[in-house]
Each structure stands twice: as C-alpha cells, then as structure tokens.
Amino acid sequence: MSKHRRKKTRRPPLAGLSVWAGTLVAALGIAYVTVDVGLHHGAADTRRPRDVDTPSPARPGLSQIKVTDPTDHKTYGVYVWRPDVPETRTLPVLYFLHGVPSDPKTLIDDEGLAKQVSAYVAKGGTPFVLAVPDGNGSHHDDTEWANAADGSDRVEDRVLDEVIPAVEGGHRRDAAHRAIGGFSMGGYGSMNLALRHPDVFGSVTSISGYFHVDDPSHMFGDKDAVVDANRPDQNVAAARRVRIFLSAAESEDNDVIKGEPQRFKKLLDTAGVPAVLDVRAGGHDWDYVRSVLPDAFGFLAQGWAKAGAPGPVSASPRPTGSPQ
C-alpha cells in the first residue's frame, strides 16, 4: 500500500550440373543479401534524426511487459496502459512509482490506477501512456527506488536502462514528454530520480512524498556521499529544470512524511524554483491519492501542451482490458 511498515526434385544431367549449381549459388546469394539488407535497414531506422517521427498503432488498454534486472537478472513486471491514439514521440508517458510494501499489481488491481487514467482521458483529458514499474529488489525490502551502495540492487538503473526502453520502444520521448510520479516512497523516489536525471524526466508529481533520506534497509550503506547524492532537499538546483507538483494530506500521520511537502516547497521558494503545492483533506491512503490524481494529471497536461503533446481525444478510448 504505502511506506512504512510486493517439397522430389529431378537430378539435372551431369553436363548441366555446373550451370545448375551456379544458378543455385546465385539464388542463395540473392536470398542472403535480402536478409542482410533487411537487417541493415532496421539498423538505419534506429539512426533516424530525432525530429522524424513515424506514428505507429499501439494496442490500447492495459498490458503487462517484462524487463530483466541488470544485477539479479530476474524478470520484473511493468503494467502499461495506452490510450487509443497513435504511438509517437510526442505522446507523453507518466512513470508512476509505488510505495512500500507494494508492487505494480496492487496499484492496478486494488487501487484502480489505470482505470482512473482511462476515465481522465475519456472525459477529455490529454491522452498519455501510464507505466507502473516494479521497485522491489532481491536484497532489500525497501529499495527507495535507488541503486544500493554495494550494487546488490540497482532499481534506479532498472528504471532508466530497462523500463523506459521497453515502454517507449522506437518512439523514445524527450524529457518534456516524459514525467515521473509516485506515492509515499514512490513520492520520494520520483522526486529523487527526477532531480538526479532532469535530462530524462521533465515533470514530477510527488504525492505524500518525503525529501530527505529514510533508509531502513540500508540501500545507501550509511555512506555520507551516497546519502547526500540521494537527498532531493540537497539537490534543489536541479529542480530548476523540472516542473514540480507536490501534494500533502491535511491528516498525514506518517512521521517520515508529515510536513515534508510543505518543507520542500519552502526550500524551492527560497531558491526561486516554481512549484505547485496542493494541500487537501485526507490521510496516508489511496482514497487521498485518487482525489489528487486528476489535478496532478492536469498539471502535467499543462506542460505537455506547451511541449506540443497531442490534444484531448474526441471519443472515449476503449475500456481498460486485462493484462496480456
């Protein structure tokens, strides 16, 4: 839920053997060249200029893909919901991070995250792709969506090097069309990754997040340099390159999180970094998150509109389906 405590051919005459053999070799040679050219054509496609974008149909609705972790080589699921519009580099993507203990399936099946995105788009909201990756590891119960100091879990690398390429395929987005967000530990992880990689993520929506380090599983090995590198509240300068939405629940009762969005907003204000802070009724639960999401999506849509994202769809997308 949230942080703190988932065919018979006739033999040719001998006199014509050499001619026959030559013809066969030529035929084989042509066949080989055809395959080889096809491969080179594919390689050439990957080197197209970034301003060339060929729309392709993508199956709308909900599906599940698998990625392989760079360290433990295990597979981890990523739930992906796609609107019923062409897949292009300007169709935005939101990567949404779960808390702890939790997993992508919980956000999809129990919390109805994909259904809420589907409903938002159906009502005329800017269409975007939702991707919900798995932030769990093999050696730490609480990964903080980070790389462990000892290299045993590399969740940050999994997100950047495996999840994003798998979700976006041949239509890689720029930062202006890629956002990250999350709840609780996912709120921390989304802000930390956004500020560590402002060239990757152009917007962040941190819902009930914290901005210091809370590391009960010792991902950072109590190493000061690693801890400092993963403190959003000490990386405010990078925030100038990112659009920021913060939310806080009035009845927040988690000591790790209580008052954190407000504190971080003050740090941003002092540094002259614009950010939106949304404070509303609710506690540390998904009822509160659901109440915030439409406004968070609206905030993201404003930035995507300026970046040239597709406009609202004129007809409702197909309903959310079951994972494939």
Assign 152 to helix, strand or coil. coil
Give domain status of residue 129, yes or no: yes
- One-letter amino acid at 112 equals G
Q: Are residues 28 and 144 in the same domain?
A: no
Burial per residue of 195-223, b for 16 or more beta-carbon CB atoms within 10 angstroms, e otherwise: bbbbebbbbbbbbbbbbbbebeeebbeee
| Cα dist from 138 to 44, 74, 235, whole Å | 38, 9, 28
Give domain status of residue 2, yes or no: no
pLDDT per residue over 279-290, tens digit each?
Answer: 999 999 999 999
The owner of tokens 């590391």 is 215
Q: Are residues 210 and 272 in the same domain?
A: yes
Q: How far apart are CA 142 and CA 155, in angstroms?
A: 11
Q: Are residues 114 and 39 in the same domain?
A: no
Q: How far apart are CA 242 and CA 196, in angstroms?
A: 11
> Which of 42-51, 240-249, 280-289 has the lowest average pLDDT?
42-51
Average the pLDDT over 185-209 and give the result: 98
Assign 79 to helix, strand or coil. strand
- Residue 26 pLDDT greater than 50, yes or no: no
- Residue 317 pLDDT greater than 90, yes or no: no
- Output the pTM of the full model: 0.82
- Residue 265 pLDDT greater than 90, yes or no: yes
DSSP 56: B
pLDDT per residue over 112-152, tens digit each?
Answer: 999 999 999 999 999 999 999 999 999 999 999 999 999 99
* pLDDT on residue 310: 82
Q: Burial level of 175, CB count in 10 A (0-12/13-18/19+)? A: middle
Q: Are residues 163 and 268 in the same domain?
A: yes
Average the pLDDT over 92-105 and give the result: 98
* pLDDT on residue 3: 52
% the chain with pLDDT above 90: 77
Q: Are residues 20 and 124 in the same domain?
A: no
Give domain status of residue 173, yes or no: yes
| Residue closest to 257 by CA, chosen among 288, 220, 284 | 284
| Residue closest to 67 by CA, chosen among 197, 202, 169 | 169
What kind and span of H or E run contains 295?
A: helix 286-306
Number of structural domains (the chain) is 2
Give domain status of residue 320, yes or no: no
Q: How far apart are CA 109 and CA 105, in angstroms?
A: 6
Q: Are residues 88 and 182 in the same domain?
A: yes
* pLDDT on residue 299: 98
Give domain status of residue 51, yes or no: no
Q: Are residues 148 and 250 in the same domain?
A: yes
* pLDDT on residue 253: 97
Task: Tell me the pLDDT of the chain averaged across its residues.
Answer: 85
Which of the four pLDDT bands, split at 50, 70 and 90, describes residue 316?
A: very low
Q: Burial level of 105, CB count in 10 A (0-12/13-18/19+)? A: middle
Assign 285 to helix, strand or coil. coil
Q: Are residues 218 and 133 in the same domain?
A: yes
> Which of 27-36, 52-61, 138-147 has the lowest average pLDDT?
27-36
Give domain status of residue 52, yes or no: no
Q: How far apart are CA 269 and CA 177, in angstroms?
A: 25
Q: Are residues 162 and 22 in the same domain?
A: no
| DSSP string for 157-173 | HHIIIIIHHHHHTTS--
Q: Are residues 95 and 193 in the same domain?
A: yes
Give domain status of residue 245, yes or no: yes
CATH of the domain at 127: 3.40.50.1820
* pLDDT on residue 244: 98
Range of the domain at 33: 14-45
Q: Alpha helix (H) ranges present in 123-216? A: 155-158, 164-168, 185-196
Query: What is the DSSP pairing of strand 129-132 with strand 75-82?
Result: antiparallel
- Residue 2 pLDDT greater than 80, yes or no: no
Q: How far apart are CA 178 and CA 180, in angstroms?
A: 7
Give domain status of residue 244, yes or no: yes
* pLDDT on residue 10: 36
As a residue count, the chain comes to 324
Q: Are residues 171 and 298 in the same domain?
A: yes
Contact (Cβ atoms closer than 8 angstroms) between residue 160 and residue 154: no
Q: Are residues 156 and 100 in the same domain?
A: yes
pLDDT per residue over 156-191, tens digit each?
Answer: 999 999 999 999 999 999 999 999 999 999 999 999
